[in-house]
Amino acid sequence: MTSSFPHRPTMVVVTGAAGFIGSHLVQGLLDNGLEVVGIDRRTPETDAIARLNLRDVTGHPRFSLFSGDLSFVSLNLLVRDAACVFHLSAIPAVRASWAEFERYVTANVMATQRLLDACVQEGVSKVVYASASSVYGPAEAPSGENDPAQPISPYGITKLAGEQLCLAYAKRPASRLSVTALRYFTVYGPRQRPDMAISRILAAALAGEPFVIFGDGTQRRDFTYVGDVVAATIAAADIEVPATVINVGGGSSISVSDIIAMARTVTGNPVPLTAGAAQAGDVPATAADLSLARVLLGFQPRIDLQTGMTRHAQWLQKLPADLLRTYGPPPTTDQDQSAPDSPH
């Protein structure tokens, strides 16, 4: 998507703009000449990370950030005139969703419904929704979009509900809203959330602190570099299929043991390990069938694991010491640091 008006850039909205993937998407959209309105909520716990994530785009003449919670603020004025709404805000992570289901339902389902209502009322024609591989549940072979969705975590259930809600709005009679739901497979790269495995493994290697492996290290994930995810997400704004779901993955399934070995290669340091029990909601493996993404989005993952983890480690190395500690604190039971990341 590029700006079609030389004097008035096309405006798009990104929810979850201060988050890991959202902040990269904002940068990608600005690079394409668009005007970007970001929406995110501020909390004392996440403020330092949000500021860090948005450091490169703060002050950009085509970027503005609205601080507010999608569950409460009036959204109509914000989405009015948007050529596309990229809906990335959600509470992510599998493990905490067992204990905090109501919070997940509010942020991931109810807020999505409020946003969709505002989009319909304001005549927005396109929504791109950030769905997740965790909607699939356990799978033997690469998951295709027509395979059954059988999430095994409360988080996965809320992501599936949000996705299906989007599709239901798009399929309503006389609907003018087109929705593309992208099922992201475990995303990594600079600014990856500090609760996620690659961040924690790299931070452990850099700080010489132990990484707790939940399970035996044979769990496999389809890891996707964040720049590839941004490319797919921007491409999704332009496809004309009215209601569709598309996988976005890195193209290979890699075990946590491989990630630990790669962390050693890219940092030059060993990763101290501590054993932990396998966690509820973690599936043994994820892998994406990317056939549809290739056809509809022209998608091809470009960044291999070594290149992506090298960039990720370089970014961590530049963090001030107090923030590096945020990325590698001692494990607690409610953080998503399985081996590798929970399915997402």
Site string (93-132) toward ligand NAD, x via CB under 6 A:
--------------x---x------------------x-x
Q: Are 84 and 127 in contact (CB under 8 A)?
A: yes
Q: Does 71 participate in binding ligand NAD (rule CB under 6 A)?
A: yes
Does position 164 interact with ligand NAD (CB under 6 A)? The reply is: no
Give the interface segment with ligand NAD, choosing from 183-191, 207-215, 288-296, 327-335 (CB under 6 A). Answer: 183-191
The two three-digit tokens of residue 245, written as one number: 């779901």
Q: Are 68 and 41 in contact (CB under 8 A)?
A: yes
The answer to whether residues 267 and 205 touch, using CB atoms and an 8 Å cutoff, is yes
Check residue 336 for interaction with ligand NAD (CB under 6 A): no
Residue of 92, 190, 227, 250 that binds ligand NAD (CB under 6 A): 92
Q: Does 223 bind ligand NAD (CB under 6 A)?
A: no
Residues that contact ligand NAD, how many (by CB under 6 A): 28
Binding residue (CB under 6 A) for ligand NAD from 126, 159, 221, 312:
159
Q: Mark whether 155 is an active-site residue.
A: yes
Binding string, residues 39-68; x marks residues near ligand NAD by CB under 6 A:
xxx----x----------------------
DSSP 12-68: EEEETTTSHHHHHHHHHHHHTT-EEEEEE---TTTHHHHHHHTTTTTT-TTEEEEE-
Q: Does 90 bind ligand NAD (CB under 6 A)?
A: yes
- Amino acid identity at 214: F
Shortest distance (Å) from residue 219 CB to ligand NAD = 15
Selecting among 155, 184, 188, 327, the annotated active-site residue is: 155
CA 158 to chain CA mean position, Å: 14
Q: Does residue 337 bind ligand NAD (CB under 6 A)?
A: no
- Contact call for residues 182 and 145 (beta carbons, < 8 A): no
Distances (CA, A) of 327 to 101, 203, 263, 319: 25, 6, 15, 10
The CA distance from 183 to 185, in Å, is: 6
Q: In the complex with ligand NAD, which residue's Cβ is closer, 21 or 236?
A: 21
Q: How far is the CB of 268 from ligand NAD (least distance, A)?
A: 26
The per-type count for the chain, helices as H runs and strands as E runs, is: 12, 13
Residues labelled catalytic: 155
Residues that bind ligand NAD (CB under 6 A): 16, 18-22, 39-41, 46, 69-71, 88-92, 107, 111, 130, 132, 159, 184, 186-187, 193, 344
